[in-house]
């Protein structure tokens, strides 16, 4: 996959996510961001690989939830009434509608997505809900269709790993944020090396894994873009079942991958654009939080090797 051009990668992702827009949510949840589904006999309404439940969040609308995320960035985003919120890779509108519940009638929510089928689906959902302060724009998040310093908060859920030029996305986030504005982004990152056959697989790129960066490299891009007060708000391991990995690896390669203890993780990262009045009041109830440079604690009993 790394040998393909950026335009080829974007075309592949757009085609895959046009298909995913029409898939059943259960298929998406039991796969890697909707791609690489396990045996249909293994599917159940409660089994997910990456996605987390939004059901307890105000504004949640099941019709807009395609089960494609790897975290709950909107829950951590400190959205205030009246804020203008931007969602990168807005899909069917799930995070936008949750953000709308936080920013209220006086705020505004803008969703940007690369795939026309997703934009169509999101607009249909917004129309059914009767929201006049939520809009969806088709566009490339490497070149956002927004003015400079026009939004207060940026959120995104399992999207930047799909983008060839992640550094450019962080530059665009900084450009569109107002001074002192901030982002909360959930994404897939790596610790250790993936097998070459996963890295070169188009399916696993669209499935959020082959396009993921090493965690430190991802955080370094945020630093280099000029953000401050960087905080890993949440970190959890993603355990991809053997029957999915065996679609891309031989049994011997799978054994080598497992024994190498390479890790695939979901992280939710917060950072601020300089120029505000100081760091936001991060809630102590939002655990775990890891200052950059510290080690993350085990997220739950038994999750660490």
Q: For the whole model, what pTM was predicted?
A: 0.78
Is position 245 within any domain? no
Structural domain containing residue 117: 6-240+263-276+283-291
Proportion of the chain above pLDDT 90, given as a percent: 46
Please indicate, yes or no, if residue 42 is contained in any of the structural domains: yes
Neighbours of 224 (CB within 10 A): 11
Q: Is residue 257 part of a domain?
A: no
Is position 254 within any domain? no
In a domain, 123, yes or no: yes
Q: Is residue 15 part of a domain?
A: yes
Please write down the HEC assignment for all residues of the chain: CCCCCHHHHHHHHHHHHHHHCCCCHHHHHCCECCECCCCHHHCCCCCCCCCCCCCCCCCCCHHHCCCCCCCCHHHHCCCCCCCEEEEECCCCCHHHHHHHHHHCCCCEEEEEECCHHHHHHHHHHHHHHCCCCEEEEECECCECCCCCCCEEEEEEECCHHHCCCHHHHHHHHHHHEEEEEEEEEEEEEEECCCCHHHHCCHHHHHCCCCCCEEHHHHHHHHHHCCCEEEEEEEEEECCCCHHHHCCCCCHHHHHHHHHHCCEEEEEEEEEECCCCCCCCCCCCCCCCCEECCCCCCCCCCCCCC
With bands split at pLDDT 50, 70 and 90, how would you rate the model's confidence at 23? low
How far apart CA 206 and CA 18 sit, in angstroms, is 12
d(CA 261, CA 304): 10
Mean pLDDT within 252-271: 86
Number of independent structural domains in the chain: 1
Q: How confident is the model at residue 244 (pLDDT cuts 50, 70, 90)?
A: confident
CATH of the domain at 149: 3.40.50.150
Confidence of residue 300 (pLDDT cuts 50, 70, 90): very low
Tell me the pLDDT tens digit for each residue of 220-236: 999 999 999 999 999 98
Residue 156's pLDDT band, with cuts at 50, 70 and 90, is very high
In a domain, 186, yes or no: yes
Is residue 95 in some structural domain?
yes
pLDDT for 63 beyond 50: yes
Per the model's pLDDT, the better-predicted residue between 72 and 255 turns out to be 72
Q: What are the structure tokens assigned to 229, written together? A: 């007060």
pLDDT attached to residue 291: 40
* pLDDT value, residue 80: 97
Distance of CA 203 to CAs 187, 234, 265, 273, 293, Å? 17, 27, 18, 34, 33
């Amino acid at each position: 996959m790394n040998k393909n051009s950026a335009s080829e990668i974007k075309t592949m992702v757009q085609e895959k996510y046009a298909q995913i827009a029409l898939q059943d949510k259960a298929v998406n949840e039991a796969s890697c961001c909707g791609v690489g589904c396990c045996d249909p006999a293994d599917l159940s309404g409660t089994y997910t690989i990456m996605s987390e439940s939004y059901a307890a969040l105000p504004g949640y609308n099941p019709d807009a939830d395609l089960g494609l995320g790897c975290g709950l960035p909107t829950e951590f985003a400190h959205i205030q009434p009246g804020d203008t919120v931007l969602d990168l890779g807005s899909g069917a509108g799930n995070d936008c509608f949750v953000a709308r519940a936080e920013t209220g009638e006086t705020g505004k929510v803008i969703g940007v997505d690369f795939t026309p089928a997703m934009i169509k689906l999101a607009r249909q959902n917004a129309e059914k809900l009767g929201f006049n302060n939520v809009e969806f724009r088709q566009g490339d998040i490497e070149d956002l269709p927004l003015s400079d310093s026009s939004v207060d908060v940026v959120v995104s859920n399992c999207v930047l790993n799909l983008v060839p030029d992640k550094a450019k996305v962080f530059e665009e986030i900084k450009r569109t944020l107002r001074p002192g504005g901030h982002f909360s982004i959930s994404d897939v990152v790596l610790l250790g090396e993936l097998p070459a056959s996963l890295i070169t697989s188009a399916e696993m790129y669209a499935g959020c894994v082959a396009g993921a960066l090493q965690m430190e490299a991802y955080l370094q891009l945020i630093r280099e873009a000029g953000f401050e007060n960087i905080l890993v708000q949440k970190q959890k391991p993603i355990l991809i079942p053997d029957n999915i990995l065996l679609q891309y690896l031989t049994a011997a390669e799978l054994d080598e991958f497992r024994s190498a203890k390479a890790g695939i993780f979901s992280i939710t990262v917060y950072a601020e654009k300089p120029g505000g009045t100081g760091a936001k009041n991060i809630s102590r109830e939002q655990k775990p939080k890891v200052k950059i440079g510290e080690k993350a604690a085990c997220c739950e009993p038994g999750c660490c090797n």
